[in-house]
Amino acid sequence: MKMLIVGGKLQGVEACYLAQKANIKTLLIDKNPSCLARNLADSFIEMDILKNKEAFLKKAYDCDLILPAMENDAVITFLEQIQIKYHLQIAFDFKAYQITKSKKKSDALFQEHQIPCPKHYPDARIPLLMKPSEASGSEGVEVINCEKTLEEKLQKITGMDQWIIQEYLEGPSFSMEVIGSPGQYKTYEITQIHIDDQYDCCRVTAPCDLETRVKQEFQRITLDIAEKLQLKGIMDVEVILHNDTIKVLEIDARLPSQTPIVVYQTTGINLLEELIRVFIPYTPITVTKNNPRVVLEQWLINKDATSNLGEKVMTQCGPLYYYVGLVEEVDILTDYVPGDEILRMILVIIGKTDLEIHARRNYIFSELKNKNLFQKT
Ligand SMILES: Nc1ncnc2c1ncn2[C@@H]1O[C@H](COP(=O)(O)OP(=O)(O)O)[C@@H](O)[C@H]1O
Ligand SMILES: [Mg+2]
């Protein structure tokens, strides 16, 4: 099985990680020669596919399936056009994506089908959360705590249609993936989303300590949204648990980053393989995992500090590689080279208990410290 992955940023890293675990051969294409995932695929081609259609098609015919691992509108539209014109197998639901990429359209779907979600301004009052309708990665997310700030913001924003202003809800947030086609959907292990002070996801953990009632409600809502969208492919649903009630924050019909790796490491289920099966005949590799505790987190270390930060920190990196040989049951992805003043890394730590995970994390930090990383060579 050979997969053509389009996009070498965080989603591309996720796809390459999962493909490697499933022994799926990968060709990664990105116009950025130093994209994050360039060394994580079996082969890489630097190409702007919008300017090299023939060359791209040639590579596409040589693969079993194409996976869009980015959220660039022009590229998504291009892929949709060539899918139809050249009968290419693309693991993506273009129709559902047009709705989920817009929080406005997603909210309209939630209203239409009574899917629980935060109330919107002006029905909702301070504290409010404001976020762009068509962004991701917590870009532009702000909490408004006073009327004066609200007035200022309302004056500043050009069009309400580009912004979501909704009640700010306290509570932990969770994610669930659903994969399939109408009438046959599967949902997967719930993961908890931990955010930094920019509302960016700095840590993902599983399994989650949620009541069965809450898990069932979350699954019911996720399946309901998938059916309403007539989804063919993958979608993740992000919710907040507020006063014991699930409220949907957003939905995204594309391969997520961070959560699929955690689902794989705690259940052995590879969401990339599950997605492939929706589009072509494919038999997943069976991997048994006894639901160990899993933490995926980003760290920035320099000579003064060690900080757990949101996923955005990794977007400043060059091509990532696996830092091996430090400790068992931990995957480390970084672009650090000796002499660098900063080390940025994704840690995937597995353990029977939180204590074990904690111990493994501390061992890594002490080992990295002993290596005098930031000494001028
Ligand atoms: N209404 C809300 N109340 C509380 N926190 C929220 C709310 N909406 C968003 N957030 C927080 O902001 C983060 C980003 O918002 P989200 O809707 O997921 O947008 P994005 O597409 O940028 O991920 C969420 O992960 C959550 O932590
Ligand atoms: Mg989000």
CA 136 to ligand 2 center in whole angstroms: 6
Torsions phi, psi of 89, nearest 5? -85, 110
CA 177 to ligand 1 center in whole angstroms: 17
193 CB under 6 A from ligand 1? Answer: yes
169 CB under 6 A from ligand 1? Answer: yes
CB 342 within 8 A of CB 300: yes
* Range 369-377, long-range pairs (CB < 8 A, 24+ positions): 373/301, 373/336, 373/338, 373/340, 373/343, 374/302, 374/303, 374/340, 374/341, 376/339, 377/338, 377/339
Residue whose CA lies nearest to ligand 1 atom number 9: 249
N residues, the chain:
377
Question: Domains in the chain and their CATH numbers?
Answer: 2-90 (3.40.50.720), 99-103+170-279 (3.30.470.20), 119-167 (no CATH), 293-370 (no CATH)
**Helix, strand or coil, per DSSP, at residue 376:** coil
204 CB under 6 A from ligand 1? Answer: no
Q: What is the residue whose two structure tokens read 């129709």?
A: 95
pTM for the full predicted model: 0.95
Q: Give all strands (DSSP E) within the chain, no chain letters.
A: 2-6, 25-30, 43-46, 65-68, 128-132, 142-144, 163-167, 173-181, 184-187, 191-195, 201-206, 233-242, 245-252, 293-302, 306-309, 321-322, 330-334, 342-351
Q: Strands 142-144, 342-351: parallel, antiparallel or unpaired by DSSP?
A: unpaired
* Cα dihedral 281, 285, 289, 292 in deg (nearest 10): -70
CB 199 within 8 A of CB 132: no
Atom of ligand 1 nearest to the CA of 166: 1
Residue whose CA lies nearest to ligand 1 atom number 25: 199
pLDDT tens series, the chain, 377 aa: 999 999 999 999 999 999 999 999 999 999 999 999 999 999 999 999 999 999 999 999 999 999 999 999 999 999 999 999 999 999 999 999 999 999 999 999 999 999 999 999 999 999 999 999 998 888 999 999 999 999 999 988 877 789 999 999 999 999 999 999 999 999 999 999 999 999 999 999 999 999 999 999 999 999 999 999 999 999 999 999 999 999 999 999 999 999 999 999 999 999 999 999 999 999 998 787 878 899 999 999 998 899 999 999 999 999 999 998 777 889 999 999 988 889 999 999 999 999 999 999 999 999 888 876 665 55
CA 100 to ligand 1 center in whole angstroms: 14
38 CB under 6 A from ligand 1? Answer: no
CA 369 to ligand 1 center in whole angstroms: 35
CA 246 to ligand 1 center in whole angstroms: 14
CA 138 to ligand 1 center in whole angstroms: 6
Count of CB atoms situated within 10 Å of the CB of 93: 22
Atom of ligand 1 nearest to the CA of 169: 3
